[in-house]
Chains A and B, each alone.
Chain A
Amino acid sequence: MGQRVAIVGTGQTYHRSSRKDVNGVELIQEATARALEDAGLTRKDIDAVVIGNMDHFEGINYVDMWSIDGNGGLHKPIMKVTTGGTTGTTVAIAAFYHVASGLFDTVLAIGWEKNSESDTTAAIITCADPFWERPTFGGAIAGLATGALGYMHRYGITERDAALISVRDRKNAVKNPYAHLREEITVEDVLNSPMLAYPIKLLDICPRTDGACAVVFASEEKAKHLTDRPAWIHQVSTRHNYTFFTDVDRSGRMPTLYEACMEVYRNAGIKDPLHELDVVEMYTPSSFAGLVWIDALGVCDEGEAVKLVSDGVTEMDGELPINPSGGVISTNCIGATGLIRVAEAAMQVSGKAGEHQVPGAKTALATGFGGCHWSDVLLISSRKPS
């Protein structure tokens, strides 16, 4: 699959609900500077930039050019990528393609969002078909609510079961200095939080965050001079679904995530992901999705995710920790959210995750969720690909 590619540096802003002290360009620059510093590089060392955010969130439609002072791309090739919720993982995959192709050796991937600058639900509704779906669609929260209700009906899970995911992720976020929401919550807190769209309550859903993330991808030749702890990209996979929400097949587990994971495992020779993966950074837009989609990772039988979670398998000291960073439930600067999963997965396998490090983690999975139930998956490891 082309030349070998490793992540050699990552950078994030300290994510907050509102960063009125900076504009978007300045926010991007904070993350970019940290990633370059982490990689031991300067702007001059970068061959190309891939940047992404959500359409309509900031109302600026050419962010690749507008953010040039902050994104480090002055007089360099820049590509803007936006694929909804998966934007951050798609940015990462595009940067990977750049380097794997052999045409570029050092590529900067950037995801960012200033959610505080607009009405998130109004902006998200513009992703839906203007005639057939916008009149009823209530944005991500309501869309995820119809899915959550389906899961409750199909698998017999309860609001209390789903709350375990919010509790787990918010507990993990306490140890991540960059996370937005860093206070522990209880199952009762989740159940008693305001109902937004039945059955999703305030503490079941990801927050709105201002933040940015940047990741430096490098070829093997470059990486060996830059770090002794590269995070190698082993596999990537993307699966998209239909345009209309009502066309999505919901008869079984999250189909795009399952298909993408199976492709990645097959190509990587992974037969027992529960034991062969050391950590997962999973895009969990809601507690219900974060629970039920565990079975789409292929680590348990369909409908068995509740048992895994309630047995502590996905806790920091469990067999397969999920979201040591605190995940999307704790931080959601949407265009950056997928890229943060990739950055955090890389930090884990490089042993650079600090207080929220999974001891000895070698192989990590990062997932992205977006749009009409589509998925990106990346497999990242400290072992060099064969």
Chain B
Amino acid sequence: MMPKGKYPLLTVRSEIEQPYNYSLGRYGSKLLKELRDNKRIVGIKCPRCGHVYVPPRQVCGKCFVKMDEFVEVSSRGVLDSFTVVYFSFLDPETGEKRPVPYGYGRIKLHGADSEFLHFLEESDIDKLKIGLPVEAVFRENRTGSFKDIKYFRVIRE
């Protein structure tokens, strides 16, 4: 029999913590090695359409051909678009709330045709603008990680 009257609607809390080991492949691994050892950002050029992709990957989706020509691209570029995030959310990478506010942007590196997504030093929306020149700031102690680039900062001459 259903219980009579009002009773609380319950939820059950469940947390899944699951480690993954994602393969970066030969090309992604090369980018990280170059970042760590030489503070260089490498891309890859399609032999058919000439498009330079960062990060490098094996196949040009448009031409569906294998790419094998690595090219060095500049660690400087232009801010194509950006946002500053103010709302707080759980970061699935850390299991913690991601610190806010933080800025991140789509950066068109000189010598690349695709863009690169990374953190911005600046999180004051009034100091950011589409088209601003930016440069990568590398960490002192690099470990072969995405975070070997600390963030991109606006170049103010």
Interface residues, chain A, with chain B CB atoms under 8 Å away: 20-21, 59, 117, 119, 121-123, 125-126, 130-139, 141-142, 145-147, 149-150, 153, 194-200, 242-247, 250
Say yes or no: is B80 at the interface (Cβ < 8 Å to chain A).
yes
The interface-forming segment of B16-24, B33-41, B133-141 is B16-24
Q: Does B64 contact A (CB under 8 A)?
A: no
Tell me, in angstroms, the Cα distance from A131 to B93 when the chains sit together.
Answer: 10
Q: Which residues of B contact A141 (CB under 8 A)?
A: 85, 87
**B83→A132 contact, CB < 8 A:** no
Asked if A125 meets B91 with Cβ closer than 8 Å, knowing A146-B82, A198-B84, the reply is yes
Provide the bound-state CA to CA distance between A198 and B86, in Å: 8
Give complex CA distance A214, B114 in Å: 40
Could you give, for residues 77-119 of chain B, a 1 whenever the CB lies within 8 Å of some chain A CB and a 0 otherwise? 0001111111101111100001000101110000000111111
| Given A135-B146, A149-B82; A242-B93 close (CB under 8 Å) | no
Q: Scoring B residues 1 to 42 as 1 if CB is less than 8 Å from chain A, else 0, what string do you get?
A: 000000001110010100010101000100000000000000
- Partner of A146 from B55, B81, B86, B90 at Cβ < 8 Å: B81
A59 touches B146 (CB 8 A): no
Least CB distance, B103 to chain A, in whole angstroms: 9
Contact A246 B116 (CB under 8 A): yes
| Chain B stretch 118-139: residues in CB contact (< 8 A) with chain A | 118-119, 125, 130
Query: Does B66 reach chain A (CB closer than 8 Å)?
Result: no
Closest Cβ of chain A: how far from B16's Cβ, in Å?
6
Contacts of B91 in A (CB 8 A): 122, 125
User: Known: A150-B130, A247-B114. Contact between A122 and B106, CB under 8 A?
Assistant: no
Question: Is B48 at the interface (CB under 8 A from chain A)?
Answer: no
Q: Check A136–B118 contact: CB distance below 8 A.
A: yes
In the bound complex, residues from chain B placing their C-beta under 8 Å from that of A146 are: 81-83, 105-106
A131 touches B80 (CB 8 A): no
Q: Which residue of B has the minimal Cβ distance to A146?
A: B81
- Is A122 a contact partner of B89 (Cβ separation < 8 A)? yes
- The answer on a CB contact under 8 Å between B117 and A198 is no
Q: B106 to A246, Cβ gap below 8 A?
A: yes
What are the residues of chain B within 8 A of A137 when measuring CB–CB? 104, 117
Distance in angstroms between the alpha carbons of A266 and B11 in the assembled complex = 50
Task: For the complex, give the distance between the alpha carbons of A130 and B22 in Å.
Answer: 7
When distances are taken between beta carbons in the complex, the residues of chain B under 8 Å from A150 are 80-81, 130
How many A-B pairs have beta carbons closer than 8 Å: the answer is 108
Max count, chain B CB within 10 A of own CB: residue among A132, A147, A195: A132
Sample 16 A-B pairs with CB under 8 A, ordered by A number: A20-B9, A20-B10, A20-B11, A121-B89, A130-B22, A131-B24, A131-B146, A135-B147, A136-B117, A138-B89, A138-B98, A139-B89, A142-B85, A196-B85, A197-B87, A246-B114
Chain B neighbourhood of A153, CB < 8 A: 81, 130
Chain B residues 47 to 67 lying within 8 A of chain A, measured CB to CB, are: 53, 55, 61
Please tell me if the beta carbons of A149 and B90 are within 8 angstroms of each other in the complex.
Answer: no
- By the criterion CB–CB under 8 Å, are B86 and A130 in contact? no
Q: What residue in chain A is nearest B32 (Cβ atoms)?
A: A131
C-alpha gap A155/B72 in the complex (Å): 33
The reply to whether B117 and A133 form a contact with Cβ atoms under 8 Å apart is yes
Identify which of B28, B114, B125 contacts A131 (C-beta below 8 A).
Answer: B28
Q: Give, as a whole number of angstroms, the nearest-CB distance from A314 to chain B.
A: 26
* Extra A-B contacts (9), CB below 8 Å, given A149-B82, A247-B53: A59-B14, A119-B90, A134-B92, A138-B104, A146-B82, A146-B106, A150-B80, A196-B87, A246-B114
Residues of B within 8 A of A194 (CB): 86-87
**Chain A residues whose CB sits within 8 angstroms of the CB of B105 once the complex forms:** 146
Of all chain B residues, which has the CB nearest A134?
B93
- Picked from A117, A131, A149, A195, the residue with its CB within 8 Å of the CB of B86 is A195
Q: Is the CB of B93 within 8 A of A135?
A: yes
Task: Say whether, besides A126-B92, A134-B93, A142-B85, A198 and B53 are in contact (CB < 8 Å).
Answer: no
Report the nearest A residue to B130, measured CB to CB.
Answer: A153
Report whether A197 and B83 are in contact in the complex, using a CB–CB cutoff of 8 Å: yes
Residues of B within 8 A of A123 (CB): 92
Judging by beta carbons under 8 Å apart, are A136 and B83 in contact?
Answer: no
> Are B86 and A196 in contact (CB-based, < 8 A)?
yes
A21, A59, A197: the one within 8 Å of B16 (CB): A59
- Beta-carbon contact of A242 and B61 below 8 Å: yes
- Expressed in whole angstroms, the Cα–Cα distance for A131 and B146 within the complex equals 7
Query: Which residues of chain A are near B53, meaning CB under 8 Å?
Result: 247
Contact A138 B116 (CB under 8 A): no
Shortest Cβ distance from residue B129 to the other chain A in the assembled complex, whole angstroms: 9
CA distance A194 to B115 in the complex (A): 30
**Which residues of chain B come closer than 8 Å to A117, judged between CB atoms?**
11
Closest B residue to A152 by beta carbon equals B130
B130 A149 Cβ-Cβ under 8 A: yes
Contact A132 B11, beta carbon cutoff 8 Å: no
